[in-house]
Amino acid sequence: MPEKIPENIKHEIERLVSELNYHCYRYYVLDAPVISDEEYDRLYNKLKKLEDDYSFILPDSPTKRIGAPALDKFEKVRHTEPMLSLDNAFSYDDVIEFDKRLKRLLESSVRQAHDVEEDIEYTVEPKYDGLAIELSYKNGLLYKASTRGDGYEGEDVTPNIRTIKSVPLKIEGVKVPSEIDIRGEVYIDIEDFERLNMERGKNGEPLFANPRNAAAGSIRQLDSSITAARRLHLACYGIGTVNGIELKSQIELITWLEKARFPIPAVVKQVNGVDKVLEVIKEIEEKRNIFPFETDGAVIKVNDFNLQKSLGVKTREPRWAIAYKYPAHQGTTRIIEIIPSVGRTGVITPVAILEPVRIGGVTVSRSTLHNWDEINRKDIRIGDYVVVERAGEVIPHVVTVIKEKRTGKEKRFQIPEKCPVCGSKVAREEGEVAVRCIGLDCPAQVQERIRHFVSRQAMDIEGLGEKNVELLYSKGLIKHFADIYKLKKEDLLQLPRFAEKSAQNLIDAIEKSRHTTLSKFLYGLGIIHVGEYAARLLSANFERLEGIYHIKAEKVMEIKQIGDKIANSISAFFNDSENIRTIEKLKSLGLKITNPDFKEKNKGKMPLDGLTFVITGALPKSRKEVEDMIEGLGGHAASTVSKSTDYLIVGDEPGSKLNKARSLGVKTVTYDELLKILNPNV
Ligand code: IVH
């Protein structure tokens, strides 16, 4: 063998191997190559040719990374030191408890001489979600790589591990230990995992559930050429047996590993005391989104190896380390059904019923799909496998559909035509994502509708605020829209919030509200898009409520200021026979509606005809709303004050327009005064 090789060739081979390994390290460990891929290939081919010509291959030659014959089975490997697993912490309190426990243990043993209050020195690193392996080196050369297995015995996966370019085949750059077992995690980046799954999906192969399974599946291949084709990475964080060098702490180990060209975790921080540990945990959590790899936690280790030794091991876990697990955010499950759910405001939201899945310690079995546009955009179907995300207390939502898992039996979900709760029609306007139930008496909306109905601008029932509506609803005293007018003092007196006087006050307020105006009543019905102004326009044009029953949209549009959107909404509302029935019920309960806004002469003539308004300062409504109202009532809304301005509407913190108006003698009014002018009854 070597004797036949000319010395200069041997040197050339040695030089090429060393150079190529260095470039490999620059590229795969430091992610900072100093030569081009072509140059690397040129050197590699040169080496390969010399190796072939002289049948001389160094054990750390890069050509030895690939080309091993496929195995029949994996040989078993006994770890000289067991590969331990880690205890978990699921909260900061658990971490604080861990620190306290260690202090207690140390107090009773080694630290007697020390101040018990003294902080313990820790390291904190990300927990890689991959497969633990051990790399065994003798005199600096990698001779065996094994999986963790049961911690005592693993499988020999040397040819596979060799294909990972960031694994040093030879220890260089440091004093070489005669023997060392280095432990770390083999993992795959999230992007590569997704790409791999996509390819597998295309080829009809089963998908990997997560990056960890993908990494494990890639290592446990009898044919190492398959492993070579996967982009696997390594992060080294521990040692087993070591001879010939002395390492005193985790941070010394990490520094040594880095020098010896091993890839190390993306973050390793040495800190004093548990408070600082928590800070690093948070720091790593913030970085999770930008790490290209998956981490599900942070590993906290006592830094000092002597302290580690004195703390010792429980059965399979060291006492000196713990894994803090970040609350899980995502899980994969299947959509069993999609149901429409009616919210308090009548908006109908599609909700996915899921096969229950545990995410961050909580079982998730429903997920909002937001709206129908979202369903279409994400192409979500009944039967789909989906990734569900849960962040904090927010309702879980579907992140994405795993389309590769489709069988063809998945069903699309249609927008319901009727409200699933009350059976009323649903309305969806062009350009709007929301689908709403228009049922006045819809049980899902009764609280919200009543809250609006009794508000000051509508029926003005004092003493019936949100809390009381909720209370009456929860006690079953209000089930339907008309039930407010059935309330009796005796009913109220049974409730915790009511005494004789407050109950009487409410009954009186309800009584008083029986006499109302058509515009207030119409506004109170909460018809979509019908605010106070539109309600007043309707009242000005329809003498009686019954005149609006079953009205056609075109008829409503005859009112100059009402556009098709409002007209369609009014028409839909008054064409719902349930709504008419509910209104009739209210009337039968003694409601008296008058209409002072209606005047025959109002037809065609608007209250603000010919008047020009300018606004300054902040008003209770948005500027746009007030301008719309002015225009709707026949007035003109201008932006600058001039001699032809009739009124300046002055809000809070008025601008220079006020001075100008004063100097020109233009009349000024507040918003409330304007409303009074328009409707003296308000
Ligand atoms: S230390 C005795 N450090 O987590 C300490 N492990 O749940 C043993 N892991 O089997 C391991 N990242 O596969 C350590 N920075 C890290 C780690 C880490 C991932 C894995 C390792 C271990 C498992 C325990």
Question: What is the SS3 assignment for 193-229?
Answer: HHHHHHHHHHCCCCCCCCHHHHHHHHHCCCCHHHHHH
**Residue 399, pLDDT score:** 86
Q: Which residues contact 577 (CB under 8 A, 6 or more apart)?
A: none
DSSP string computed for 289-307: TTSSS-EEEEEEEESBHHH
Q: How many other C-beta atoms can be found within 10 angstroms of the C-beta atom of residue 400?
A: 16
The band of 465, judged by pLDDT with boundaries at 50, 70 and 90, is confident
Mean pLDDT of 373-393: 85
**Residue 143, pLDDT score:** 96
User: 86 CA to middle of ligand 1, Å?
Assistant: 6
Report how far residue 163's alpha carbon sits from residue 223's, in angstroms, rounded to the nearest whole number: 11
User: 262 CA to middle of ligand 1, Å?
Assistant: 16
**Residue 116, pLDDT score:** 56
Task: Note whether 126 and 300 are within 8 A (CB).
Answer: no
Enter the tokens of residue 538: 């309707």
**Residue 121, pLDDT score:** 97
**Annotation: CATH topology of 88-325:** D-amino Acid Aminotransferase; Chain A, domain 1 (3.30.470)
Give the nearest ligand 1 atom to 84 CA.
Answer: 2
**Residue 280, pLDDT score:** 97
Mean pLDDT of 259-276: 97
The band of 466, judged by pLDDT with boundaries at 50, 70 and 90, is confident
Nearest Cα neighbor of 460 from 520, 405, 550 is 520
Strands 612-616 and 592-594, bridge-based pairing:
unpaired
Nearest Cα neighbor of 661 from 671, 672, 669, 652 is 669
**Residue 361, pLDDT score:** 66
Coil, helix or strand at residue 592: strand
Strands 153-155 and 76-78, bridge-based pairing:
antiparallel
**Residue 110, pLDDT score:** 59
Per-residue burial over 368-390, b = 16 or more CB atoms within 10 Å of its CB, e = otherwise: bbbbbebbeebebbbbbbbebbb
Task: Note whether 33 and 19 are within 8 A (CB).
Answer: no
User: 85 CA to middle of ligand 1, Å?
Assistant: 6
Please enumerate, as own/partner, the contacts of 101-105 that have beta carbons within 8 Å and a separation of 24 or more: 101/319, 102/302, 102/311, 102/319, 102/320, 105/311, 105/319
User: 374 CA to middle of ligand 1, Å?
Assistant: 40
Residue 245 sits at φ, ψ, to 5 deg, of: -135, 160
User: 127 CA to middle of ligand 1, Å?
Assistant: 6
Q: Which residues contact 622 (CB under 8 A, 6 or more apart)?
A: none
Task: Note whether 347 and 363 are within 8 A (CB).
Answer: no
Enter the tokens of residue 107: 């107090």
CA–CA distance from 533 to each of 34, 459, 513, 530, 597 (Å)? 72, 16, 20, 8, 12
- What is the per-residue pLDDT across 584-597, written as a single tens digit (0 to 9) for each? 999 999 999 999 98
The percentage of the chain sitting over the pLDDT mark of 90, rounded to a whole number, equals 66
Report how far residue 184's alpha carbon sits from residue 75's, in angstroms, rounded to the nearest whole number: 20
Catalytic residue (choose from 48, 64, 100, 127): 127
Alpha-carbon dihedral angle through residues 501, 507, 511, 514, given to the nearest 10 degrees = 140
Mean pLDDT of 49-53: 95
Enter the tokens of residue 89: 């912490």
Give the nearest ligand 1 atom to 238 CA.
Answer: 1
Give the nearest ligand 1 atom to 85 CA.
Answer: 24
Least confident of 62-71, 77-86, 102-111: 102-111
Q: Could you name the CATH architecture of 446-601? A: Orthogonal Bundle (1.10)
Could you tell which of 81, 83, 86, 294 is best to mutate to test the pocket of ligand 1, judged by most ligand atoms within 8 Å of the CB?
86
Ligand 1, atom 17, lies closest to the CA of 127
DSSP secondary structure code for residue 194 in this structure = H
Nearest Cα neighbor of 327 from 300, 368, 297 is 297
Most confident of 367-371, 602-606, 677-681: 367-371
Report how far residue 226's alpha carbon sits from residue 228's, in angstroms, rounded to the nearest whole number: 5
Least confident of 6-10, 552-556, 672-676, 677-681: 677-681
Enter the tokens of residue 535: 């309600």
Report how far residue 675's alpha carbon sits from residue 569's, in angstroms, rounded to the nearest whole number: 25
Is the model's pLDDT at 645 over the cut of 60?
yes
Q: Show me where the domains of the chain are located.
A: 7-64, 88-325, 330-405, 446-601, 612-678
Per-residue burial over 594-622, b = 16 or more CB atoms within 10 Å of its CB, e = otherwise: ebebbeeeeeeebbbeeebbbbbbebebe
The band of 605, judged by pLDDT with boundaries at 50, 70 and 90, is low
DSSP secondary structure code for residue 405 in this structure = G
The percentage of the chain sitting over the pLDDT mark of 70, rounded to a whole number, equals 95
Is the CATH number of domain 330-405 2.40.50.140?
yes
Mean pLDDT of 232-239: 97
Mean pLDDT of 138-153: 95
- What is the per-residue pLDDT across 423-457, written as a single tens digit (0 to 9) for each? 999 988 766 778 899 999 999 999 999 999 999 99
Give the nearest ligand 1 atom to 320 CA.
Answer: 2
Its sign, for the CA torsion 109, 113, 117, 122, is: negative
**Residue 373, pLDDT score:** 82
Residue 127 sits at φ, ψ, to 5 deg, of: -95, 115
User: 325 CA to middle of ligand 1, Å?
Assistant: 12
What's the pTM?
Answer: 0.56
Residues lining ligand 1, judged by CB closer than 6 Å? 84-86, 125, 127-128, 132, 148, 185, 237-238, 265, 299, 318, 321, 323
User: 131 CA to middle of ligand 1, Å?
Assistant: 9
Is the model's pLDDT at 396 over the cut of 90?
no
Where residue 428 falls (left for φ over 0; alpha for ψ -120 to 50; beta otherwise) is: beta
Is the model's pLDDT at 185 over the cut of 80?
yes
Ligand 1, atom 15, lies closest to the CA of 127
What DSSP element (H or E) covers 186? strand 179-188
Which three-class secondary structure string do you get for 128-152?
A: ECCEEEEEEEECCEEEEEEECCCCC
Is the model's pLDDT at 15 over the cut of 80?
yes
Give the nearest ligand 1 atom to 131 CA.
Answer: 13
- What is the per-residue pLDDT across 162-171, written as a single tens digit (0 to 9) for each? 999 999 999 9
**Residue 117, pLDDT score:** 65
Report how far residue 331's alpha carbon sits from residue 270's, in angstroms, rounded to the nearest whole number: 32
Taking the domain 612-678, which CATH number applies?
3.40.50.10190
Is the model's pLDDT at 2 over the cut of 70?
no
User: 191 CA to middle of ligand 1, Å?
Assistant: 22
The whole-chain average pLDDT of the chain stands at 90
Report how far residue 384's alpha carbon sits from residue 219's, in angstroms, rounded to the nearest whole number: 30
Report how far residue 626's alpha carbon sits from residue 638's, in angstroms, rounded to the nearest whole number: 12
- What is the per-residue pLDDT across 186-216, written as a single tens digit (0 to 9) for each? 999 988 988 898 888 777 777 787 788 899 9
In 444-526, which ranges are continuous DSSP H helix?
446-453, 466-474, 489-493, 500-513, 518-524
Could you tell which of 152, 185, 295 is best to mutate to test the pocket of ligand 1, judged by most ligand atoms within 8 Å of the CB?
185
**Annotation: CATH topology of 7-64:** Helix Hairpins (1.10.287)
Alpha-carbon dihedral angle through residues 272, 274, 276, 278, given to the nearest 10 degrees = 150
Report how far residue 642's alpha carbon sits from residue 653's, in angstroms, rounded to the nearest whole number: 20
CA–CA distance from 391 to each of 103, 170, 331, 365, 396 (Å)? 34, 45, 12, 15, 7
Enter the tokens of residue 368: 């909002």
Ligand 1, atom 6, lies closest to the CA of 127
CA–CA distance from 235 to each of 125, 168, 440, 589 (Å)? 11, 12, 62, 76
**Residue 305, pLDDT score:** 96
**Residue 3, pLDDT score:** 58
- Annotated active-site residue 127? The verdict is yes
**Residue 359, pLDDT score:** 82
**Residue 434, pLDDT score:** 82
**Residue 681, pLDDT score:** 53
Task: Note whether 608 and 631 are within 8 A (CB).
Answer: no
330-405 and 88-325 share a CATH fold: no
Ligand 1, atom 21, lies closest to the CA of 132
Q: Between helices 564-574 and 577-588, what is the axis angle to 10°?
A: 70
User: 234 CA to middle of ligand 1, Å?
Assistant: 12
**Residue 391, pLDDT score:** 64
Could you tell which of 237, 269, 293, 311 is best to mutate to test the pocket of ligand 1, judged by most ligand atoms within 8 Å of the CB?
237
Q: What is the largest CA-CA distance in the chain?
A: 120
Report how far residue 682's alpha carbon sits from residue 497's, in angstroms, rounded to the nearest whole number: 30
Enter the tokens of residue 21: 């390994």
**Residue 112, pLDDT score:** 53
